[in-house]
């Protein structure tokens, strides 16, 4: 096996090309890569999220920038830097503009400036002229007073030469152990094979399937201070024995339609698992909770081992008060779940790592499009493109773990000067 260059993609002649406009930590990108795409460029404003993305996607050119401040030419120049031989075509532009302005959770406002980001998505689609685009948002964008926004956006895409399908999909219908309904815009350029959003595959995965194999993090004192621990041979063997087919899929142990680059990682290293310290009173209250019950003081809900997780939320960034996301109570233990357990409920593979702090880590999971759902959408586009994507022969080293430990000011400094192509 050959190791791919950290600087450039090697396979863009045989794999379709995509651009992620609101990348976050990379859930949408991962699913699109798993479908067979090379994601040449990812744009992400938050420097912490951009660092996490760069760690997990060492070949993608990351632009730590505000989408409203960049142009299609900026992205094309970055794509040229990312690929050895790129013919200039972009097959897919995708992304999930921040949705808090449309969300039924919290305040909803027509004047929320974040609502305008969907129109910057439209602007960059028209400038980049891809064959297809996919935009994700909350279902609230299509109801009540926001119906006009939704209709206006659809009309603008149609005027730009795209056939557009708008539909709500539930991640639980695509093998994700979480109820998560999201609105998707899927556009096909006039003259190309039109694409439809995927039909449910009716694969039902439970919370137990997702996390029952993981060791109890309370057994590891070091996880009070770090987010990683090397499992003993015995602990690793027990994890393997308990693993469901879903977990084996996430750990790359069974065959699948996964066409992503293979990452080099240590399966025996448990990551993104920093413990939360609870008071004795909280532990006592959590212990008395029933499945799906909401705790009266913390308002946290206990997961049902044999059911689906409720929607994992992200909380808010520093610009919106730094509110912590509501973290579910573990189905059998008297604590909230870890970031790794949340990632399992979101269909992230175990090699994928998040910022070491629980606050950033949960934000990164909660904001992401579940990779398995993104994969199902991406496969629809690949089929329309009539490209037989192959699993790349290259093995990728993940990035420097220091990228996962930076504070916001440090992450900002890290990106200064890296995106000099932006005017």
pLDDT band at 421 (very low <50, low <70, confident <90, very high): very low
Question: pTM higher than 0.85, yes or no?
Answer: yes
Residues 93-116 have pLDDT tens digits of: 999 998 655 444 455 444 445 568
- The torsion of the CA quartet 277, 279, 283, 286, rounded to 10 degrees, works out to -90
Helices (H) and strands (E) in the chain, counts: 13, 11
Residues 147-182 have pLDDT tens digits of: 887 888 999 999 999 999 999 999 999 999 999 999
Q: What is the DSSP letter of 3?
A: B
- In contact, 60 and 50? CB cutoff 8 Å: no
pLDDT band at 315 (very low <50, low <70, confident <90, very high): low
**What is residue 114's predicted lDDT score, i.e. its pLDDT?**
52
Catalytic residue among 51, 81, 99, 313: 99
**What is residue 390's predicted lDDT score, i.e. its pLDDT?**
85
Chain mean position to CA 175: 15
**What is residue 110's predicted lDDT score, i.e. its pLDDT?**
46
pLDDT band at 388 (very low <50, low <70, confident <90, very high): confident
99 is catalytic: yes
Q: What is the mean pLDDT of residues 243-254?
A: 94
Q: Which two tokens stand for residue 148?
A: 């006009």
pLDDT at 87 over 60: yes
CATH numbers and ranges of domains, the chain: 17-202+367-413 (3.40.50.150), 207-255+277-353 (no CATH)
pLDDT band at 7 (very low <50, low <70, confident <90, very high): low
Q: Which residues contact residue 383 at a Cβ distance below 8 angstroms, ignoring those fewer than 6 apart? A: 195
DSSP per residue over 232-285, as a string? Answer: PHHHHHHHHHH--HHHHHHTT-S--S--SPEEE--TTEE-S-------HHHHHH
Per the model's pLDDT, the better-predicted residue between 84 and 132 turns out to be 132
**Cα distances (angstroms) measured from residue 423 to each of 67, 69, 75, 79, 412:** 13, 9, 12, 16, 18
């Amino acid at each position: 096996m050959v190791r791919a260059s950290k600087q450039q993609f090697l396979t863009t002649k045989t794999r379709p090309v995509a651009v992620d406009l609101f990348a976050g930590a990379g859930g949408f990108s991962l699913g699109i890569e798993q479908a067979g795409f090379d994601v040449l460029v990812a744009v992400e404003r938050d420097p912490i999220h951009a660092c996490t993305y760069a760690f997990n996607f060492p070949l993608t050119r990351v632009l730590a920038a505000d989408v409203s401040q960049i142009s299609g030419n900026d992205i094309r120049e970055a794509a040229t830097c990312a690929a050895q031989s790129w013919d200039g075509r972009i097959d897919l532009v995708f992304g999930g503009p921040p949705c808090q302005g449309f969300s039924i959770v919290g305040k909803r406002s027509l004047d929320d400036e974040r609502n305008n980001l969907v129109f910057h998505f439209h602007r960059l689609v028209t400038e980049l002229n891809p064959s297809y685009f996919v935009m994700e948002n909350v279902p609230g964008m299509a109801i009540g007073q926001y119906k006009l926004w939704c209709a206006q956006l659809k009309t603008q895409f149609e005027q730009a030469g795209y056939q557009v399908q708008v539909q709500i999909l539930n991640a639980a219908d695509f093998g994700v152990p979480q109820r998560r309904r999201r609105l998707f815009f899927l556009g096909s350029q006039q003259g190309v094979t039109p694409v439809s959003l995927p039909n449910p595959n009716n694969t039902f995965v439970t919370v137990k399937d997702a996390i029952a194999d993981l060791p109890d993090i309370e057994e590891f004192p070091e996880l009070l201070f770090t987010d990683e621990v090397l499992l003993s041979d015995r602990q690793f063997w027990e994890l393997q024995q308990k693993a469901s087919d879903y977990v084996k899929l996430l750990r790359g142990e069974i065959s699948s339609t996964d066409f992503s680059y293979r990452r080099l990682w240590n399966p025996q290293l448990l990551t993104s698992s920093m413990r939360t310290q609870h008071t004795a009173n909280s532990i006592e209250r959590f212990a008395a909770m029933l499945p799906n019950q909401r705790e009266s003081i913390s308002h946290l809900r206990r997961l049902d081992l044999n059911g689906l997780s409720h929607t994992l939320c992200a909380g808010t960034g520093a610009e919106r008060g730094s509110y912590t996301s509501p973290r579910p109570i573990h189905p059998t233990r008297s604590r909230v779940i870890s970031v790794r357990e949340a990632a399992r409920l979101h269909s992230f593979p175990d090699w994928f790592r998040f910022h070491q702090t629980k606050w950033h880590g949960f934000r990164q999971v909660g904001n992401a499009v579940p990779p398995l759902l993104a994969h199902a959408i991406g496969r629809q586009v690949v089929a329309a493109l009539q490209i037989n994507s192959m699993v790349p022969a290259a093995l990728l080293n993940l990035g420097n773990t220091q990228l996962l430990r930076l504070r916001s000011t440090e992450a900002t400094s890290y990106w200064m000067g890296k995106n000099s192509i932006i005017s």
